[in-house]
Structure 1
Amino acid sequence: MDMTVSARERNWIAQRLANDAPDILQIWQILWRRKWSILALVLIVMMVTALGTFVITPTYRATSTLLIEHKSANVVSIEQVYDPEGMGNEYLLTQFELLKSRALAERVVKKLNLTTHPEFDPRQQPEPLIDIGGLLASFSIGEAIPVILPEDLEEGVDPTEAKIFDEVTKTFMKRVSIAPLGKSQLVQLQVEMADPRMAAKAANAMANGFIEGQLDATMEMSMTATNWMNTRMLELRTKLKEAEDKLQAFREKENLVDIGGVSTINAAELSATSDRMIDARRQRAEAQSQYRQVESMRRGGWAKLATIPAVLGHPLIQQFKADEARARAKVDELSKRYGDRHPALEAARSDLKAASASLRGQVEQIVAGIERNYQLAVANENSLQASVDANKAQIQKISRKEFQIRELQREVEANRALYDTFMTRLKETAATSDLETANARVVDQSVVPTQPIKPQKSLIISMAGILALMAGIGLSLLLEMLNNTFKGAEEVEAKLNLPVLGILPLVKNKHRSQIASLFSSNEDKSFSESIRTIRTSLVLSGMSDPHRILVVTSSIPGEGKSTVAANLAYAFGQMEKVLLVDADLRRPTLAKNFKFPVGTPGLANLIAGTAKVDECIKTIEGIDMLCAGAVPPNPLELLSSERFTKLIEQLKDSYDRVIIDSPPIQAVSDATILAIHADAQIYVIKSESTSVPLARRGVGQLLQSNSPVTGVVLNQVDIKKAQKHGYHYGGYYDYYGYTNPQKTDAQTTQGSKA
């Protein structure tokens, strides 16, 4: 049994989660039910908005069109002093910002004397009771016209003319807008004012003021450029004079006449000296070679020196060598012939010595000559080298002087060229008139507007209607979310996962005691048919195991469970022997509804044993009823006692069906005790009153106590209202019996049995 209950609870939770998902059809039904309230809200808001738009002061927009052209300044071609020409969009954007400048606004305010205009003068502004324009502007629907109010100025201080002029200028700037026309050079000047004629004048004044301002600025810049050029001319003239004086002073100081001729002569001398230097270097090299040979042979004596090619090749040396050779040959010959002391041999030896001495003397002379030639070659080379160095130094000195003088000449020429350029441009500026032309011209003059641009009444009213519609839809959905009650049988089945046995229509203008016996009186056909539908549902649900003990309960008091129990007793009483028991020992209603005498014993007396069954049971219109009796101090103990269990078994044997009116499940725990003895449990829910969480807790308590909850009765349903809201209950009661109250009781009974 516990597993069955747990499975049922799981299915219930799953069904709840599935039903919590948003349903577009359900949202549409909610909105459809409240369509008239939403439409009424929309109409009221639109009417109030329409009245409000008529209070707002209309605003007119005057427009003048300007053509802004590019224009080059001709003051100086290289360093331009004033250049209004930009590159592409930058230039146009600059002109647009100039159109929105404060200087232009002040020019227009002064020209049109707007400080005395009623629309701008704070001293003439009436204080509005309701700033509707400001309210609409806060919603970006209609932008309020900026005006100066007295409270905007300093309190306690009389506004000065300067203060008023400043505030008027700021206000006027807020009413001016610039609108470029596509990618062209055309731009529209737009002025918004409540006075259409003044708006047109202001637009034209702005266009003309912009052109005049450009002319004034151009002329001012031209005068500034002329003055600057005059000043610059004096400076350039002074610099030119200083450069010329410096050049002349340098020439006089260096005694320069023709630097070019001097440098040419020095270059020729340097070339000739260089050629001689080459020859001298070659001669020195040759002399140096011979000198080194002499030095290398000097240690070997004059005989070694005589073998040097430079000495040996000398003609005298060859002659002296030949003489020596002859003398030596003669000595050799005589030495063979004579003795050592022979006069002839001695004479020959004397000749040999004389020849050798001559040869030696000649060798020494030639060697000395080689040394002298080497020294002369070195001295000649050094002399020529000094001459070359002197020529180079002279040429370098001349080059330095030439560089200095050329630098001075360039400075003179540059100052003269700049001076001549400024002189030419100054004459052109004085002779031309291009600085007196403006870079803009008026294409279209502003005309007096005839139609206001705001407030846009149709747009404001439409937006108000749309906002009201959205607010109405949101409010309807919010109220629907806050109204967490059962409004239809579908919601009961979806949120509680229990079948709906039937619904009972709302009975108006009837007392509780009358409603308790309404089925018996058959005054309300729809109510009677609804009771029969509930009876049929209970009979069909108990075909295999009849529901002998029926317990009727609800979540809280006031949901109509007692009237449901009483009318079900009358309905079952037409076919069976039925006993209606009032088990609500705390707040009994059976005795009051059927006007039992005071002190009539009932259920509490039977359980306590102070009365007998025959004394307690009363028969009303063929139905046996057992009231609560004397209200006991311990009703829960009585219902939990063994005597109550035996009493239920005794009554079950005596009657075909026992219907027990139980206390509310959320009020006390008595209903949980009674549910133990029940074969079927009927849960009563009041339409559009019982909250969903409350009913869920009540049903959950019954399921936890293993009570067989058979189904739900949705009570006090306003059928007409529900049908207007999209709910249909044709399947829960005889719709034709409801719509045709003249149907006879026999027809009703026959239809019920069918």
Structure 2
Amino acid sequence: MYTPKEPGLRYALERSEALRPSPRGSSLLGLISDTRDVPAARPGAAGGSARGRLAPNLQPEIQVEPAETTAAPAARQVMGYAHTLRSINPDDILLWLRQGWLWIVGATILCVMGAFVYAQTASPRYTVYTDLVIDPANLQVVNDDVFGSNLLRDSQLLEVESKMRVLTSRNVLARVIDSMNLTQDPEFARPTTMGRLKNIVLGTSRNEARQADRLSTMRALSERVEARREERSFVVSLSVYTEDPLKSVALSDAIVDAFEKEVFESAAQSAGRVAAALNQRMDDLRRNVTDAEAKVAEFKRRHGLQSQNGELVSMQLASELNTQVLAAQQHYIELETRYRQMQEAIAVGRTSTASVFVSPTMTALRQEYNAAVVQLNSLKLTYGARHPRITAANSDLETLKASILDEARRIVDIAKSDMQQAKSALDELQNKSSEQQSKVYTDNDSQVELRDLERDARAKAALYETHLARAQQITEQQQINTSNIRVISRALPPKSRSWPPRTMILLAAGAFAGLGIGIGIALLFGLLRVLRQSQPRPA
């Protein structure tokens, strides 16, 4: 151990070292640094003590210049402490430990006793673990779910974290408290002395006391429940501890059941709010559809717009009239052509041979005419040109020609009459077509506004039908649990308590802690003695 030098010699040495000029200046740091030039005391080889020896070039009596006698006492004290601390060696530490063995033994015994008492009196904790898979992708029961699914991993992790927070939320814990009646469990409902005094002094009502007990139970339960998510997965581990292993298992199962009910009811409530909002909107949508369809019907009635198979009747009539006009025009052209051919045949005298003249009378006259021609030719071969029979045959032939011409003119008159009738019919049809076309143009102008009204009616009807189908679908979906939460590892009763550790472990930890505390106290007291003995005496 370090032992101080003789007071006079030690004090003179320290004053001479403190007042010696230093190239680093006269600051406190320089004074401390200059003390390194003084040899540190080492324990003697013969005596085995820690008394230091002075360097041979240092004399007991040192002449101090008058200008250096005003050094600060604090600097000398700091310099002395620094010199003392540098003089400490392992032998001094061992000596301090031997001198403070009572502190070491006492602290070790006290800590061991404290650990033993804590092991016997501490409330045991039995922790159980339940693993759940919280899949962010809900079950696809219907095509259009109420909640949209996001395939981004960050969004999925956020959803899992949110549901994990629901697992330990107050709503879930409140369900567990009600289902297991934890307000009557002494482990969770432990009224404090201050709480009892407060109830007595303030006269708290039974309802307020019940609420206070429930709040304290909620706090105690929340301290015993913890949930964490495994890294890079959707697996959530739920840990619960109580003073009884079977109670821990039952409490863990109750929390999982309450969590599933909370998630399902939360989704059902959200779907119910959507369905209620849709049902409230249904009446307005129904009225809008009725008003829009009434406007369409009123507009059609006011403008005389009749439709058949999705097409206006006026357009159908116009199309039919156009077809009739084309047919009448074609018939008139045929009759006109036939009439002109007849006139041309009469003009060139081909009434007896022209095929355009067709009638039973014309056919009979032509047969008689051909027979008369044959008879005339036969008579010419037999008789002379002036023979009475030839003259009679020529007369009959001319009579037949005149009859044929009259018949041809009669046919021409009939053809002309037919042509004029066809022309009149064509003109009438064209007039009707023009009038109908004008009506079509008017209807088309009206149909522009009608289409706008019909589009508005169709859009409102489609919106109403969509809302109606969606409301019915969501109403049915309230009864279906679409959350994809699975328990992959149920809680099992633990083999041993999780806290406090075994008694032997606690005793070993207490002994180790006591040993460290005792050693620290022994070293602290030894250091204090050395520093107190190394303080310089006033001059």
Q: TM-score, normalised by structure 2?
A: 0.51
Residue 230 of structure 2 aligns with which residue? 181
How far the C-alpha of 1:468 sits from its partner, in A, is: 3.9
- Percent of pairs identical after alignment? 20
Residue identity matched to 2:535: P
Residues 1:70 and 1:88: Cα distance change in structure 2 (over 3 Å): closer
Residue 204 of structure 2 aligns with which residue? 157
Residues 389-432 of structure 1: CA distance to partner in whole angstroms, max 9, x if unpaired? xxxxxxxx999988866654443333233223233434545677
How far the C-alpha of 1:7 sits from its partner, in A, is: 9.5
CA distance in 2, matches of 1:454, 1:74: 44
CA distance in 2, matches of 1:211, 1:405: 55
1:692 aligns with 2:534: yes
What are the residue-to-residue correspondences of 1:338-487 with 2, within 5 Å? 408-426=453-471, 428-429=473-474, 435-456=480-501, 464-465=510-511, 467-484=513-530
CA distance in 1, matches of 2:205, 2:241: 29
Residue 112 of structure 1 aligns with which residue? 180
1:211 aligns with 2:275: no
Residues 1:92 and 1:427: Cα distance change in structure 2 (over 3 Å): same
1:50 aligns with 2:116: yes
Residue 290 of structure 2 aligns with which residue? 241
CA distance in 1, matches of 2:146, 2:287: 22
How far the C-alpha of 1:73 sits from its partner, in A, is: 7.6
Give the SS at the match of 1:454.
coil
Equivalent residues of 2:101, 2:522 under 8 A apart: no
Residue identity matched to 1:692: S
CA distance in 1, matches of 2:529, 2:235: 62
What are the residue-to-residue correspondences of 1:324-339 with 2, within 5 Å? none
Selected match of 2:245 from 177, 196, 207 = 196
Give the SS at the match of 2:204.
coil
CA distance in 2, matches of 1:250, 1:484: 115
Give the SS at the match of 1:218.
helix
Structure with the largest fraction of helix: 2
Give the SS at the match of 1:472.
helix
What are the residue-to-residue correspondences of 1:612-651 with 2, within 5 Å? none
Residues 1:72 and 1:19: Cα distance change in structure 2 (over 3 Å): same
Of 152-161 and 112-121, deviating more is 152-161
Equivalent residues of 2:183, 2:214 under 8 A apart: yes
1:10 aligns with 2:16: yes
Residues 1:230 and 1:20: Cα distance change in structure 2 (over 3 Å): same
Selected match of 2:125 from 42, 59, 69 = 59
Residue 667 of structure 1 aligns with which residue? none
CA distance in 2, matches of 1:204, 1:113: 15
CA distance in 2, matches of 1:152, 1:175: 26
Residue identity matched to 2:286: R
Selected match of 1:25 from 71, 89, 98 = 89
Residues 1:433 and 1:62: Cα distance change in structure 2 (over 3 Å): same
Residues 303-332 of structure 1: CA distance to partner in whole angstroms, max 9, x if unpaired? xxxxxxxxxxxxxxxxxxxxxxxxxxxxxx
Instruction: Please report the RMSD computed on the Cα atoms of aligned residues, expressed in angstroms.
Output: 4.4
CA distance in 2, matches of 1:437, 1:177: 25
How far the C-alpha of 1:94 sits from its partner, in A, is: 0.9
CA distance in 2, matches of 1:8, 1:231: 98
How far the C-alpha of 1:442 sits from its partner, in A, is: 2.3
CA distance in 2, matches of 1:154, 1:181: 48
How far the C-alpha of 1:60 sits from its partner, in A, is: 1.3
How far the C-alpha of 1:67 sits from its partner, in A, is: 2.1
Residue identity matched to 2:132: L
Question: Gaps spanning 5+ residues in structure 1: where?
Answer: 128-147, 263-396, 487-690, 702-754
Residues 1:151 and 1:114: Cα distance change in structure 2 (over 3 Å): farther
Residues 610-645 of structure 1: CA distance to partner in whole angstroms, max 9, x if unpaired? xxxxxxxxxxxxxxxxxxxxxxxxxxxxxxxxxxxx
Residues 1:181 and 1:460: Cα distance change in structure 2 (over 3 Å): farther
CA distance in 1, matches of 2:265, 2:126: 31
Residues 1:224 and 1:692: Cα distance change in structure 2 (over 3 Å): closer
How far the C-alpha of 1:215 sits from its partner, in A, is: 2.8
How far the C-alpha of 1:167 sits from its partner, in A, is: 2.7
1:166 aligns with 2:215: yes
* Number of matched pairs: 331
Equivalent residues of 1:76, 1:425 under 8 A apart: no
1:91 aligns with 2:159: yes
How far the C-alpha of 1:110 sits from its partner, in A, is: 1.5
CA distance in 2, matches of 1:7, 1:116: 78
Residue identity matched to 1:479: F
How far the C-alpha of 1:95 sits from its partner, in A, is: 0.8
Residue identity matched to 1:10: S
How far the C-alpha of 1:204 sits from its partner, in A, is: 0.8
CA distance in 2, matches of 1:243, 1:192: 66
CA distance in 2, matches of 1:229, 1:55: 61
CA distance in 2, matches of 1:154, 1:187: 44
CA distance in 1, matches of 2:212, 2:12: 83
Higher relative contact order (CA 8 A, sep 6+): 2
Q: Which structure has the bigger radius of gyration? A: 1
CA distance in 2, matches of 1:152, 1:469: 44
Residues 653-682 of structure 1: CA distance to partner in whole angstroms, max 9, x if unpaired? xxxxxxxxxxxxxxxxxxxxxxxxxxxxxx
Residues 1:73 and 1:240: Cα distance change in structure 2 (over 3 Å): farther
How far the C-alpha of 1:99 sits from its partner, in A, is: 0.9
How far the C-alpha of 1:445 sits from its partner, in A, is: 2.4
Residues 16-75 of structure 1: CA distance to partner in whole angstroms, max 9, x if unpaired? 566245467357446544462453123432332222221111111132222222244879
How far the C-alpha of 1:194 sits from its partner, in A, is: 1.2
CA distance in 2, matches of 1:211, 1:152: 39
Equivalent residues of 2:134, 2:234 under 8 A apart: yes
